[in-house]
DNA sequence: CAAATCCCCTGCAGGC
DNA sequence: TGCCTGCAGGGGATTT
């Protein structure tokens, strides 16, 4: 479930483990779904490279290398990078010239991805992304939802409109903004868009501060779980009382995704 | 063009 | 106890 906050927490903790260090040895697994760049080529491209920076865009991490290439990484559903477990689900291991701790990419479900982006080149995966959700403003949400007949929840999950929102933070922001997830996106007005944008920024920042949400798989680079799940107001709380009005939280499926909302507070 | 559907992958919960 | 089914979900590809 890594969404923007989980990826950002990963970026911050991973930064000192990658940036400034030179990769000496690379070990890879063989999963063809995980490696967008074939494992042997990826290993050859990484060996000897120094990492200059670690950036995030939406749910993607981008490690800038000293030859101008970039390593694109996505955590998928169950990815963990850093001091991750070493077992059959470990797909990538990086060792460094300083003899310090190795960095591992572990991913049980293999929805995660790694890919080398050669110097000056990008990827449709990145190019397609809308603006990063952490700085979203109401007007962006407003223009991004015009002409969209789909549910507002579905549009929030569209990475081309906003990059970084996933199922949890969409539900949480919609609750804070008082907007029902099933509402048609185009019917959400400018005022509500502004309120929704503020709610998104708020839940994303709160999520980062709490170290992300750990439902079952997510772990920070050091292996510790996040804490934001404790603060979830509606996500995963179907049947529990709304924290604002005590009405039972409802769970419905919207766009193949479970959605949670308060039928009284959200319209 | 938008939206709906399918698929990838694995562990786990629930039913019998 | 063990087997089977269904579900979770990010996101790309395909179909409607």
Please return the burial class of A227, using the count of CB atoms within 10 Å of its CB with bins 0-12, 13-18 and 19+: middle
Say how far apart CA A109 and CA A112 lie, in whole Å: 8
Q: How far apart are CA A250 and CA A262, in angstroms?
A: 6
By the 8 A CB rule, do A240 and A248 touch?
Answer: yes
What is the pTM for the complete model shown?
A: 0.95
In angstroms, the CA A78 to CA A218 distance is: 6
Nucleotide nearest to A76 (CA to C1'): C10
At A210, list the tokens: 């709490």
Catalytic residue chosen out of the listed positions A12, A50, A251, A257 = A257
Helix H or strand E segment including A24: strand A23-28
Task: Give the pLDDT confidence score for residue A171 in this predicted structure.
Answer: 93
DSSP A242: P
Asked if strand C contacts A76 at the CB level, meaning under 7 A, the answer is yes
Could you check: is the Cβ of residue A256 within 7 Å of any atom of nucleic acid strand B?
yes
Find all residues with CB under 8 Å of A143, minimum gap 6, and list them. none
Catalytic annotation on A102?
no
Minimum mean pLDDT range among A90-94, A134-138, A233-237: A233-237
The per-residue pLDDT for A229 is 82
- Write the CA distances from A259 to A162, A240, A249, A254, integer angstroms: 18, 14, 10, 6
- Give the nucleotide with minimal C1' distance to the Cα of A148: B2
Our measurement of the distance from residue A94's CA atom to the centroid of its chain's CA atoms, rounded to an integer in Å, reads 22
Is A257 marked active-site? yes
- The confidence band for A212, taking pLDDT boundaries of 50, 70 and 90, is confident
Q: pLDDT for A151-207, tens place per residue? A: 999 999 999 999 999 999 999 999 999 999 999 999 999 999 999 999 999 999 999
- Å between CA of A157 and C1' of C13: 18
- The distance (Å) linking the CA of A235 with the C1' of C6 is 21
When pLDDT is cut at 50, 70 and 90, the band that residue A228 belongs to is confident
């Amino acid at each position: 479930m890594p969404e923007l906050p989980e990826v950002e927490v990963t970026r911050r903790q991973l930064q000192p483990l990658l940036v400034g260090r030179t990769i000496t040895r690379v070990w890879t697994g063989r999963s063809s779904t995980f490696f967008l760049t074939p494992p042997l080529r990826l290993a050859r491209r990484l060996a000897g490279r120094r990492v200059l920076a670690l950036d995030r865009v939406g749910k993607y991490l981008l490690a800038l290398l000293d030859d101008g290439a970039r390593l694109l990484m996505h955590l998928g559903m169950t990815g963990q990078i850093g001091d991750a477990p070493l077992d059959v689900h470990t797909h990538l291991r990086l060792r460094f010239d300083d003899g310090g701790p190795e960095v591992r990419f572990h991913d049980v479900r293999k929805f995660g991805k790694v890919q080398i982006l050669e110097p000056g080149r990008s990827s449709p995966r990145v190019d397609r992304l809308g603006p990063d959700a952490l700085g979203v403003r109401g007007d962006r949400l407003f223009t991004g939802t015009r002409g969209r007949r789909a549910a507002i929840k579905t549009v929030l999950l569209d990475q081309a409109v906003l990059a970084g929102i996933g199922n949890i933070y969409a539900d949480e922001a919609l609750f804070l903004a008082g907007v029902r997830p099933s509402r048609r996106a185009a019917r959400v007005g400018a005022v509500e868009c502004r309120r929704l944008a503020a709610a998104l920024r708020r839940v994303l920042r709160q999520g980062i501060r709490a170290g992300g949400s750990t439902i079952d798989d997510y772990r920070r680079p050091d292996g510790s779980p996040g804490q934001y799940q404790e603060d979830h107001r509606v996500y995963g709380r179907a049947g529990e009382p709304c924290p604002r009005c005590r009405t039972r939280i409802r769970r419905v499926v919207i766009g193949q995704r479970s959605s949670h909302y308060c039928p009284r507070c959200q319209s």
